[in-house]
């Protein structure tokens, strides 16, 4: 079975998030410890729409957790959620910003599985809406550690782009000890 692939924009924006969090000097030190394969990719131009192994984002997320999180699951959840927000903000900081204002939560929930299929080579996302709560479940995403947590931040940023204020989010079937359980899901609730 071939390794799951993702779009390059996820790598680009995760690296920028790490640079912003760590500062250039610490990022340069940390990036020298990355795998030779990832360092080689980062030394060139990462194409936003190109396909790259999911292990690259997993490696970057491990750096994020090792360098910024001193606590347990709660602190890690917050750090990964914020990284997901950053990725979404950077990815939609173009003409898509205007499109986001026209989206509704219902349309967004219906389209999320399509967005997932566009950005990932395998796996499955199921999304549903119940009142003011979006639920997204992830299946068959081998190697995509912390995917549900990152996605909760991505969705939160999208809802903010629609003019909605996020009230709360929670992530289930996820922990630092088990970062990639099949069927992991997040719930996001917004205010009217």
Final residue in a domain of this structure, among 73, 88, 123: 73
- Per the CB < 8 A criterion, the answer to whether 137 and 126 are in contact is yes
Residues 165 and 87 in one domain: yes
Residue 68 has pLDDT above 90, yes or no: no
Residues 85 and 174 in one domain: yes
CA 165 – CA 26 distance, rounded (Å): 34
Final residue in a domain of this structure, among 73, 98, 127: 73
Residues 95 and 151 in one domain: yes
Residue 165 has pLDDT above 80, yes or no: yes
pLDDT 10s digits, 137-147: 999 999 999 99
CA 158 – CA 183 distance, rounded (Å): 22
Residues 69 and 87 in one domain: no
Q: What confidence tier does 130 reach under pLDDT thresholds 50, 70, 90?
A: very high
Residues 42 and 104 in one domain: no
CA 171 – CA 99 distance, rounded (Å): 27
pLDDT 10s digits, 22-46: 999 999 999 999 999 999 999 999 9
Three-state DSSP class for 162? coil
Final residue in a domain of this structure, among 53, 73, 93: 73
Can you give the pLDDT at residue 107?
A: 92
Residue 1 has pLDDT above 70, yes or no: no
Residues 38 and 130 in one domain: no
Can you give the pLDDT at residue 6?
A: 97
Dihedral of the CA atoms 26, 84, 137, 139 (nearest 10)?
Answer: -40
Residues 22 and 88 in one domain: no
Residues 12 and 46 in one domain: yes
Can you give the pLDDT at residue 91?
A: 75
Over residues 139-163, the mean pLDDT reads 94
Can you give the pLDDT at residue 128?
A: 97
Residues 48 and 88 in one domain: no
**Phi and psi angles of residue 183, each rounded to the nearest 5 degrees, phi first:** 90, 5
Can you give the pLDDT at residue 85?
A: 95
Residues 69 and 92 in one domain: no
pLDDT 10s digits, 75-126: 999 999 999 999 998 877 665 566 667 788 999 999 999 999 999 999 999 9
Residues 141 and 187 in one domain: yes
Domain that holds residue 112: 80-191
Residue 47 has pLDDT above 70, yes or no: yes
Residues 95 and 44 in one domain: no
Domain of 158, CATH number, reads: 3.90.1520.10
Can you give the pLDDT at residue 2?
A: 84
Q: Is the pTM of this model over 0.75?
A: yes
Total number of domains in the chain? 2
């Amino acid at each position: 079975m071939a390794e799951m692939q993702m779009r390059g924009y996820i790598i680009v924006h995760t690296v920028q998030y790490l640079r912003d969090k760590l500062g250039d000097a610490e990022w340069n030190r940390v990036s020298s410890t990355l795998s030779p394969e990832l360092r080689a990719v980062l030394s060139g131009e990462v194409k936003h729409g190109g396909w790259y192994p999911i292990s690259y984002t997993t490696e970057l997320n491990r750096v994020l957790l090792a360098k910024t999180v001193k606590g347990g699951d709660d602190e890690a959840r917050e750090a990964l959620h914020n990284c997901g927000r950053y990725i979404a903000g950077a990815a939609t900081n173009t003409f898509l910003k205007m499109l986001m204002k026209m989206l509704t939560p219902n349309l967004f929930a219906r389209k999320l599985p399509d967005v997932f299929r566009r950005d990932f080579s395998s796996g499955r996302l199921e999304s549903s809406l119940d009142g003011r709560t979006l639920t997204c479940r992830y299946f068959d995403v081998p190697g995509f550690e912390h995917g549900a947590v990152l996605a909760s931040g991505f969705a939160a940023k999208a809802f903010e782009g629609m003019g909605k204020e996020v009230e709360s989010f929670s992530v289930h079937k996820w922990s630092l000890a088990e970062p990639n359980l099949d069927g992991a899901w997040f719930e996001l609730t917004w205010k009217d």
